[in-house]
């Protein structure tokens, strides 16, 4: 039984290597799924088990300066990714409808491959978001959805970059996601800078609307595939996954929008205080894109939670 299992794994590995796009074989972490899967398994184990136990009897780290630098770097990285996606086709030759995966070695195809890999690698860098939560003892922020999103997305993108790295309809959601991350990490950076920058965060109430817009755009764009008479050289599995991703997270965000802004409910805040990415204010926690984001202030007055401002009771 064990020998058969090992034989099957070896055969699958050989098959995968034969199917790996030759143009991406020399990129870091693209030679085998073992490296990528090991990193993500280590991430899940650290964030869910090892990290919290290591920090159990330790004081939380003060990482504001580190996080300001990290957030700034993520803003610049995601802005560069958006630019490269645009220059690789979306702002030059793509129709924004049935755009095909390019199997050639043209300069544009190779440029698209580079940015597709860079987007994948950026998802591994984003694992540091969770590491910061652990080191700052913000374990309540590390939900199942948070860990699942941060591990599942890079895992699926590895397969996409390995088998079909050169664009196509599926690359649209990566470009949009990076554009949204420019905005979000800008917010995080200002938030981590301390209370004196709170006056520049007036637009935080629009964060959920920006996320909802992202999922609407992604879902509408990818849905075109189902209504086309013909759209050659796409991978239907990638299309289905992207559509399900967009719809699922649109529903999750819509539910938050209803709870937060229509019904006036908020998720509970542990210890009557919550900080996000270095903020020293008291924002309410909200699930966004698999992680918790700041979305407005919560004040406690005579035991009641009042959104947005202090209200006399």
Sign of CA dihedral 153, 158, 164, 165: positive
Q: Where are the alpha helices (DSSP H) in 27-106?
A: 33-45, 51-54, 64-85
Two tokens at 292? 């918790």
Q: Retrieve residue 304's tokens.
A: 């009641």
Asked if the model's pLDDT at residue 156 lies above 60, the reply is: yes
How far apart CA 188 and CA 125 sit, in angstroms, is 16
Top pLDDT among 11 and 146 is at: 146
Q: What is the mean pLDDT of residues 20-41?
A: 90
Ramachandran assignment for 271, one of left (phi > 0), alpha (psi -120 to 50 degrees), beta (any other): left
Q: Catalytic residue numbers?
A: 149
For residue 229, give the DSSP letter.
Answer: S
pLDDT of residue 297: 33
* CA–CA dist 309, 312 (Å, integer): 10
Q: What is the mean pLDDT of residues 285-313?
A: 37
Q: In what order do the strands lie in the sheet with 291-301?
A: 283-288, 291-301, 304-307
- Token pair of 258, please? 């209803």
If one compares 234 and 172, the residue with the highest pLDDT of the two is 172
When pLDDT is cut at 50, 70 and 90, the band that residue 168 belongs to is confident
Residue matched to tokens 């080191």: 135
**pLDDT at 14 (0 to 100):** 66
Residue 58: per-residue pLDDT? 93
* Per-residue b or e along 33-50, where b marks 16 or more CB atoms closer than 10 Å to that residue's CB: beebeebbeebbebbeee
Strand partners, 288: 291
CA atoms within 13 A on the CB side of 34: 8
More confident residue, 233 or 194: 194
Each residue's pLDDT tens digit, 76-128:
999 999 999 999 999 999 999 999 889 899 999 999 999 999 999 999 999 99
Q: Which residue has the higher pLDDT, 265 or 144?
A: 144
**What pTM does this model have?**
0.79
């Amino acid at each position: 039984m064990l020998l058969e299992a090992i034989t099957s794994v070896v055969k699958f590995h050989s098959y995968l290597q034969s199917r790996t796009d030759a143009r991406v074989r020399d990129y870091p972490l693209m030679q085998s799924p073992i490296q990528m899967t090991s990193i993500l398994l280590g991430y899940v184990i650290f964030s869910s088990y090892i990290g919290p136990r290591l920090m159990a009897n330790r004081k939380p780290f003060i990482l504001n300066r580190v996080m300001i630098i990290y957030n700034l770097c993520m803003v610049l990285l995601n802005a560069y990714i958006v630019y490269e996606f645009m220059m690789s086709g979306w702002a030059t030759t793509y129709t924004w409808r049935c755009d095909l995966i390019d199997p050639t070695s043209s300069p544009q195809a190779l440029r698209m491959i580079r940015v597709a890999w860079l987007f994948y690698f950026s998802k591994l860098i984003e694992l540091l978001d969770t590491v910061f939560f652990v080191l700052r003892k913000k374990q309540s922020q590390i939900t199942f959805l948070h860990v699942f999103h941060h591990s599942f997305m890079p895992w699926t993108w590895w397969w996409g970059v390995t088998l079909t790295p050169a664009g196509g309809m599926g690359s649209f959601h990566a470009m949009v996601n990076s554009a949204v991350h420019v905005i979000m990490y800008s917010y995080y950076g200002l938030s981590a800078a301390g209370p004196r920058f709170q006056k520049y965060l007036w637009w935080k109430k629009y964060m959920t609307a920006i996320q909802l817009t992202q999922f609407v755009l992604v879902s509408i764009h990818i849905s075109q595939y189902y209504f086309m008479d013909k759209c050659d050289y796409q991978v239907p599995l990638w299309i289905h996954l992207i559509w399900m991703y967009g719809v699922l997270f649109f529903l999750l965000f819509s539910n938050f929008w209803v709870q937060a802004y229509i019904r006036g409910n908020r998720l509970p805040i542990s210890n009557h205080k919550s900080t996000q990415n270095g903020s020293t204010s008291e924002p309410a926690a909200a699930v966004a894109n698999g992680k918790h984001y700041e979305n407005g202030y919560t004040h406690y007055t005579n035991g009641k939670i009042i959104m947005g401002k202090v209200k006399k009771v």
